[in-house]
Each structure stands twice: as structure tokens, then as C-alpha cells.
Structure 1
Amino acid sequence: MTLDLFTPADTAVLLIDHQEGTMSWIRSAPIAHERANAVALARAAKALGMPLVLTSSLEDHEQGPLVTELRDVAPQEYESRIRRAGMVNAMEDPDFAAAVIATGRTNLVIAGVTNDVCTVYPTLSALQDGFRVEVVADAGGSMSKAADDIAVEEMRQAGARVASTNMVLTELARDWSSPAGKSLIPVVGALIPRGDK
């Protein structure tokens, strides 16, 4: 049986509000892991030639700028990021919604810095608009584990697939001997924990 998996040819990656200040609000998981996972998704998109849409909210406030690693990995996407003026649901921002539609992709990999705010609402909107959505739960977090669990369950109940970063990367690779697989080996390798167990 062949699974109906997302592929690099039919999928876009949306990274929502992975900003220095907002990231510091996460309490449900280690911030360093969330940050590394978000950057890995950007690296994967670039390695596979997939559309990557970045957005931020109120960069000149507490939320701060997008993490510098995103600028380093995807400089063009960083410069053309959608800078929202405070719209909580990124899909309700006309420029962001237009950028998503312009990718021409029907499958969306979505990761927001906070699952209970930045991820949940765009995911629900995208599902309502007919997109298939895979939420990367460990590339975001929430202010508490309870809040994170509630948000993830809400998205799952609405029809989103929920995955980890490693699940998404291996789904896109499919075969380590393929060009996609070979491109993603270093991305996956960078996520492997090092040091003492």
C-alpha cells in the first residue's frame, strides 16, 4: 500500500513568527530544540527547492526580529518575509495569504513559534480553505504543556496531520539514495543529539 505522503513537488513550508522575543515565551519544551527544528525546516525547503514563506509580527515590539539562523539559511525569503502589523492569524493577513496561494502548492507544512497562537489559527484557516496541512509540533511550543497539548489536539481534530520535524524530513526524503534523500541527510544529521546521554 502506498501512503499519500507530502512530497517536495506538492508542498510549501510556512514558518510563522520564529522571533527572538516570542521564542523566549515558550515553556512547554526546550527553546533550543524548537529553534533548531524551525531552522531545519527552512534548510530542508531550500535544499529541496520548495517554496518557503516566512512571516513575523510586530518586529519592533517585544516579539523582536526573526531568529538570525533563518536569515543565514534563507536570505531571500528572509528579506521578502511578510511583516504583519499584529494580525494574530497569519492567514487573515492579505499579503501572507497571497504569498501562500502564490506557491501553487496544495500541501502545507506549517510551524509557528507558539502552537497555541501562531500555529493553530493559520492551520484552521488553511484547512478551511482546502489545503492539506501537516503541523510540525516540535518546531513550536506554548507557554505551558497543557496549552500546547490543547492546541495540537484542536488542530488534529480539525483534520491536520501532526508530526515531528524528523517525521517531516524523512517523509520528504522517502529514500536516502534519492536526490531528495541525499540532500536531507545533513539536515537530519544536524538534529541528532550529541554528547553524553
Structure 2
Amino acid sequence: MAACLFSISGFAQKPSPKLLTPTNHTLVLIDFEGQMAFAVKNIDLENLRQNVGLVSGGSKIFNVPTIVTTVSEKSFSGPVFPEVSEVYTDTEAYMDRTTMNAWEDVKVHDVIVAKGKKKIVLAGLWTEVCIVDPALSALIEDYEVYVITDACGGVSDEAHRVAIQRMIQAGVQPITATQYVLELQRDWARSETYAAVTALFKKYGGAYGLGIQYAHDMLKH
């Protein structure tokens, strides 16, 4: 019996290969631009921006391979959210395109492939076009695809909801912004990123961030 319990305990300590780590995926941020945001209806723009801040900030803390792609930035859609541009300041990291499906842009596709990661995490605007299209396209090339649902926006509640349902039915795994960052941290004893992650949540984490601020302050007394 003891041997059996030991075996079960040992197995439980092995994390699922479905979990994201800082080194096993590529993050693709798609069309977080003003013109695209104006039509978003499924989520309040303030909440969307907070979630985008968590995702972009978290990816930078953990040095996740990240691609920022825009659509017709100079002629139509405008600049990226400050929550992205303040984190990714190197203009060479940005890839502008004309295609609605980023996967069909040769340069974007080549950069994603060159990262060498078989897991891809997507977030962006709009869910029903610029997220669905690359998500379904990546699946047929045998990528594992994750979509950060609360860092995506559609032109209506139904458009966003149906898009998420369509992707899940095809095999995409839905996650949220908070889940994404905490899945990368995984252990609060990971001291090299602890301070940066808690600071990120204080800035963008809403009520959870206030709780962290409260705990940090009160524990000093």
C-alpha cells in the first residue's frame, strides 16, 4: 500500500505537458490598435487594456518569444496600445501586414516557425477574424494553440462567443490573462520573477492586485 501511495504521489508532482512555461511557447499579439478597439463590444475597453497589460508585461518578465503584429498601422488601424508599446519598445519587433489572417502573411508565418515552439498563444482584435483565422490555420500545421479569451475583443458579444466556441470545437485551448501569467510563475518561491509579477498585478490586476498591495503593506507591520 505504501509503495502504491508513493507512486501516486510521485506522479502527481509531474506537471502536465499541456501547461505553459516561459520556454515552451510563442506569444503572438495581434492588432491591438485603436481603430480595431473602437468597435469592440464584448468587453469594456478598460478591462481589455488591463488584461493586455498583464499579458504583454508577463511575457516580458519571463522572456517569452513574442511577436507583435499590426494590420495597416499607418494607413488605417493606428498605433498599438500603450500597454504593448511601453513593454515592447523596439520597432523591429513589430510586423505590419495587410492580411486579416496573420498566418497568411509570409513574414509573420516565417518568424513564428523560426521560433521553434509547437505551442502558440494568441491574443488580439477581433476575435472572430484576426484570432480565429490564425488559430485554425496553426492547428492544421500541428501546433497546439491557446487563446487568451479576455485579452481578445469582438464586434459583439455573440461574435466573440461564437468565435471562441468555434475554436474550442476545433481543438484550441482557452485561457485568461491572469491564468497566463500565473501559469508562467507557477511557484511563488520563484524569487527571480516574484517581485516583477506581483508589481505587474498591482498595476493591472484589479481587485487581485489590490489584495497583493494590501498584503505586502500589512505584513510590514
Q: Could you state the TM-score of these two structures normalised by the residue count of structure 1?
A: 0.91
More displaced, 138-147 or 185-194? 185-194
AA in 2 matched with 1:144? S
- The match for 2:101 is 89
In the alignment, the residues of structure 2 paired with residue 75 and residue 104 of structure 1 have an alpha-carbon distance, to the nearest angstrom, of 23
Q: Is the 8 A contact 1:91 1:97 kept in 2?
A: yes
- The match for 2:217 is none
Aligned 1:1-197 pairs, distance under 5 A = 1=12, 2-4=15-17, 5-76=19-90, 78-84=91-97, 86-179=98-191, 182=194, 183-193=196-206
In the alignment, the residues of structure 1 paired with residue 146 and residue 119 of structure 2 have an alpha-carbon distance, to the nearest angstrom, of 8
Tell me by how many angstroms 1:131 deviates.
Answer: 1.1
What does the per-residue CA deviation read over 1:45-88, in whole Å, with 9 as the maximum and x for residues that have no partner? 11111111000001133311212332211112x4331110x201
What does the per-residue CA deviation read over 1:113-167, in whole Å, with 9 as the maximum and x for residues that have no partner? 2111111111111111111111001111111101111000011111111011011
Q: Is the 8 A contact 1:137 1:162 kept in 2?
A: yes
Q: Which has the greater radius of gyration?
A: 2
Q: Could you state the TM-score of these two structures normalised by the residue count of structure 2?
A: 0.82
Higher helix fraction (1 or 2): 2
CA root-mean-square deviation: 1.7
In the alignment, the residues of structure 2 paired with residue 33 and residue 64 of structure 1 have an alpha-carbon distance, to the nearest angstrom, of 20
In the alignment, the residues of structure 2 paired with residue 148 and residue 137 of structure 1 have an alpha-carbon distance, to the nearest angstrom, of 9
> 1:69 and 1:168, CA in 2 relative to 1: closer, same or farther beyond 3 A?
closer
In the alignment, the residues of structure 2 paired with residue 175 and residue 116 of structure 1 have an alpha-carbon distance, to the nearest angstrom, of 34
In the alignment, the residues of structure 2 paired with residue 153 and residue 187 of structure 1 have an alpha-carbon distance, to the nearest angstrom, of 30
Partner SS, residue 73 of structure 2: coil
Identity value in percent: 27
